[in-house]
Chains A and B, each alone.
Chain A
């Protein structure tokens, strides 16, 4: 018989957890751009909500994500993200530090009237689409780390249906507005992203569309 892989199947790919969901049905209803509505406003509001909700759940498992438990920002058995520091060098950071940087950076953007305008008369900047892609990519990494390193803790806290739905919604939205690069979702063959497989499973299961 063929040798089985030494790495056990991650819990998030195992049943029943892979199927756990708070939201049943098609995400299209809440992802689709409402007719006549400005796409920038739609994307901006959704990014705002994804950030708020992700922050809430990271806050839940933050006590388990420490310098000791997560000395680097892992998102797969062979994948650890690097942060570009002020000297433009790629550096490895402990996951809590990395995530703190990401979340603070996004929070500041969201509060920045020049990037995410809220007052009447203020328009979105030309750079908005590329900024948002950037934001999306970093949020994806936070999701990827939580799935890779902390999913069992979400299980202990009975939060997997919620977190799964949030992530599936995030993926569906990212696909619809081309905010996600497939190579960020899947990673490379030598360093695959754990959640790349989850993405495929959810497509097979019909949770995500083609």
Chain B
């Protein structure tokens, strides 16, 4: 029988949820999402596997001196590695596959521990992130995309991520352990660096930031805490894809309110007229008074652990929310360079909202103290980084700046670093402030909305194809 011109096996079906429980549709949607994700990954992995094989086959084809037997062995080795990787995908990794050696760091959303994988004995850094804290911010999707690409990157300038897994309360990232600590800890210890030492770290940061930009990302939150030191004393940027954008202070709506509120933190009344005079006073106080700087330094680590975070290194255009480009990371680098040479960051203040105000009016507040000697080159570079976005140097210009005279950009990662960590064992944590950290594991209970929340973290479980 004709069915409105449709073929006779065509059926109209009236969809409704009358016979179902309330939870049925969400459950169905969850299953659908998971399957979509599954097929996306299945196709991506097939493509990647193929790429790895074709690359090896092509390389071997060009090896005219290599025996067929050896070529064959290499192909079989790739197959073995791919097979092990398939096995890893079946392996359910969980917290109990790792033994905690020590808590080595704290961040806004959880902590970082030194752990050992029980079956292989290998050492890793494990970052725990509290899901509900992360969900309170709305940038999850955006941040996840960043992490996905970084997870795939093999750049020597970015901390490698090996596995990630989750339970109802936490997300766990298993990363390579960098035993040398971070630049913040080093600055607390040494106060300032010589220009040669600064040149080394800043030059390495230039390459690291360039690598991140080449991956298509803008970091936005480069600071000494995120610059980690490997066993040879070279730097890597920590897995920032997850941490950026989350801090309360970096939350764009927070800053929006701050802006609308005449620069006073939300919820703190608005003392009219007093604004300008207060700021003028604060320059003199903060920039010349050693006690103020000492207070800032004493609080530096606490600031790093707090969910408030520090805005000291953030470029003004980020706060303005009118869009920003790669250039914002070069501003941050300028602020870090200033700190390396001067001992504190250029806009440091007693509280974050003063810092914020100084950054917004950097023209009035960027000052080089008289009692610290900086070379002309160093000061010039800083002034060309801490400047308006349109005048800031590009990466090519930075590399050619005369502060970096003599730097060999192609080999810097292979030369001897100024400080090489002295390590007594693979689990040596002497470069971490472990005494200051609460060593009791930071677990918070699961929560009733766990199922729907887990869905938000669907893309997070990750296993890295082993590096060659």
Q: When the two chains form their complex, are residues B43 and A45 in contact, meaning their CB atoms are under 8 A apart?
A: no
A155-168 interface bits toward B, Cβ cutoff 8 Å, 1 = contact, 0 = none: 11111001001100
By a CB distance below 8 angstroms, the chain B residues around A37 are: 49, 79, 82-83, 86
CB distance from B316 to the nearest CB of A (A): 46
CB distance from B16 to the nearest CB of A (A): 6
Identify which of residues 147-175 in chain A touch chain B, using a CB-to-CB cut-off of 8 Å.
Answer: 152-153, 155-159, 162, 165-166
Q: When the two chains form their complex, are residues A118 and B11 in contact, meaning their CB atoms are under 8 A apart?
A: no
Does A89 lie at the interface of the complex (its beta carbon under 8 Å from any beta carbon of B)? no
By a CB distance below 8 angstroms, the chain A residues around B19 are: 64, 153, 156
**A22 and B82 contact, Cβ closer than 8 Å, known pairs A15-B10, A45-B89, A116-B90:** no
Does B419 lie at the interface of the complex (its beta carbon under 8 Å from any beta carbon of A)? no
By a CB distance below 8 angstroms, the chain B residues around A35 are: 53, 79
**A36 and B76 contact, Cβ closer than 8 Å, known pairs A45-B90, A56-B35:** yes
By a CB distance below 8 angstroms, the chain A residues around B43 are: 29-30
**Interface residue tally on B, bucketed by range:** 35 or more
Question: Bound complex: CA of A166 vs CA of B37, how far in Å?
Answer: 13
By a CB distance below 8 angstroms, the chain A residues around B10 are: 14-16
Question: Bound complex: CA of A40 vs CA of B262, how far in Å?
Answer: 66
By a CB distance below 8 angstroms, the chain A residues around B27 are: 59-60
A49-72 interface bits toward B, Cβ cutoff 8 Å, 1 = contact, 0 = none: 100010011011001100000000
By a CB distance below 8 angstroms, the chain B residues around A64 are: 19-20
Q: When the two chains form their complex, are residues A30 and B32 in contact, meaning their CB atoms are under 8 A apart?
A: no
Question: Bound complex: CA of A50 vs CA of B254, how far in Å?
Answer: 45
**A53 and B15 contact, Cβ closer than 8 Å, known pairs A15-B7, A34-B53, A45-B90:** no
Tell me the count of chain A residues lying within 8 A, CB to CB, of chain B. 46
Q: When the two chains form their complex, are residues B24 and A53 in contact, meaning their CB atoms are under 8 A apart?
A: no
Q: When the two chains form their complex, are residues B20 and A156 in contact, meaning their CB atoms are under 8 A apart?
A: yes
Q: When the two chains form their complex, are residues B35 and A11 in contact, meaning their CB atoms are under 8 A apart?
A: no
**A156 and B17 contact, Cβ closer than 8 Å, known pairs A15-B7, A15-B10:** yes
A157 (CB) vs chain B CBs: closest residue: B28
Q: When the two chains form their complex, are residues B87 and A41 in contact, meaning their CB atoms are under 8 A apart?
A: yes
**A36 and B53 contact, Cβ closer than 8 Å, known pairs A15-B7, A118-B87:** yes
Q: Is the interface of B mostly helix, strand, loop or mixed?
A: helix
Question: Bound complex: CA of A16 vs CA of B13, how far in Å?
Answer: 10
Q: When the two chains form their complex, are residues B35 and A53 in contact, meaning their CB atoms are under 8 A apart?
A: yes
Does A44 lie at the interface of the complex (its beta carbon under 8 Å from any beta carbon of B)? yes
Question: Bound complex: CA of A23 vs CA of B87, how far in Å?
Answer: 25
By a CB distance below 8 angstroms, the chain B residues around A117 are: 87
Q: Is the interface of A mostly helix, strand, loop or mixed?
A: helix
A1-42 interface bits toward B, Cβ cutoff 8 Å, 1 = contact, 0 = none: 000000001010111111000110000011000111110011
Identify which of residues 46-88 in chain B touch chain A, using a CB-to-CB cut-off of 8 Å.
Answer: 46, 49-50, 53, 75-76, 78-80, 82-84, 86-87
Does A83 lie at the interface of the complex (its beta carbon under 8 Å from any beta carbon of B)? no
Q: When the two chains form their complex, are residues A9 and B9 in contact, meaning their CB atoms are under 8 A apart?
A: yes
Question: Bound complex: CA of A63 vs CA of B11, how far in Å?
Answer: 25
Question: Bound complex: CA of A204 vs CA of B50, how far in Å?
Answer: 30
Q: When the two chains form their complex, are residues A14 and B82 in contact, meaning their CB atoms are under 8 A apart?
A: no
Question: Bound complex: CA of A166 vs CA of B11, how far in Å?
Answer: 22
Does A88 lie at the interface of the complex (its beta carbon under 8 Å from any beta carbon of B)? no
Q: When the two chains form their complex, are residues A14 and B11 in contact, meaning their CB atoms are under 8 A apart?
A: yes
Does B368 lie at the interface of the complex (its beta carbon under 8 Å from any beta carbon of A)? no
CB distance from A32 to the nearest CB of B (A): 8
- The contact of A36 among B20, B38, B46, B79, by CB within 8 Å, is B79
By a CB distance below 8 angstroms, the chain A residues around B91 are: 118
Does B272 lie at the interface of the complex (its beta carbon under 8 Å from any beta carbon of A)? no
**A42 and B86 contact, Cβ closer than 8 Å, known pairs A13-B9, A36-B75, A60-B27:** yes
Q: When the two chains form their complex, are residues A22 and B36 in contact, meaning their CB atoms are under 8 A apart?
A: yes
By a CB distance below 8 angstroms, the chain B residues around A15 are: 6-7, 9-11
Q: When the two chains form their complex, are residues A44 and B75 in contact, meaning their CB atoms are under 8 A apart?
A: no
A159 (CB) vs chain B CBs: closest residue: B28
Q: When the two chains form their complex, are residues B53 and A45 in contact, meaning their CB atoms are under 8 A apart?
A: no
Q: When the two chains form their complex, are residues A11 and B11 in contact, meaning their CB atoms are under 8 A apart?
A: yes
Does B190 lie at the interface of the complex (its beta carbon under 8 Å from any beta carbon of A)? no
A160 (CB) vs chain B CBs: closest residue: B13
Q: Kindly name the residue among A117, A157, A158, A159 whose own CB sees the greatest number of chain B CB atoms within 10 A.
A: A157
- The contact of B46 among A17, A30, A56, A110, by CB within 8 Å, is A30
By a CB distance below 8 angstroms, the chain A residues around B28 are: 60, 157-159
Question: Bound complex: CA of A13 vs CA of B87, how far in Å?
Answer: 37
Identify which of residues 56-96 in chain A touch chain B, using a CB-to-CB cut-off of 8 Å.
Answer: 56-57, 59-60, 63-64
Does B280 lie at the interface of the complex (its beta carbon under 8 Å from any beta carbon of A)? no
Q: Kindly name the residue among B9, B16, B30, B36 whose own CB sees the greatest number of chain A CB atoms within 10 A.
A: B9
B20-34 interface bits toward A, Cβ cutoff 8 Å, 1 = contact, 0 = none: 110011011011101
Q: When the two chains form their complex, are residues A157 and B46 in contact, meaning their CB atoms are under 8 A apart?
A: no
Seed contacts A63-B21, A118-B87, A118-B91; 4 additional CB < 8 Å A-B pairs: A29-B46, A37-B83, A110-B90, A120-B119
Q: Which residues of A contact B (CB under 8 A)?
A: 9, 11, 13-18, 22-23, 29-30, 34-38, 41-42, 44-45, 48-49, 53, 56-57, 59-60, 63-64, 110, 116-120, 152-153, 155-159, 162, 165-166
17 A-B residue pairs with Cβ-Cβ distance under 8 Å, sorted by A, are: A14-B10, A15-B10, A22-B35, A34-B53, A34-B82, A36-B75, A45-B86, A49-B38, A49-B42, A53-B35, A59-B31, A116-B90, A117-B87, A118-B91, A120-B119, A156-B20, A162-B31
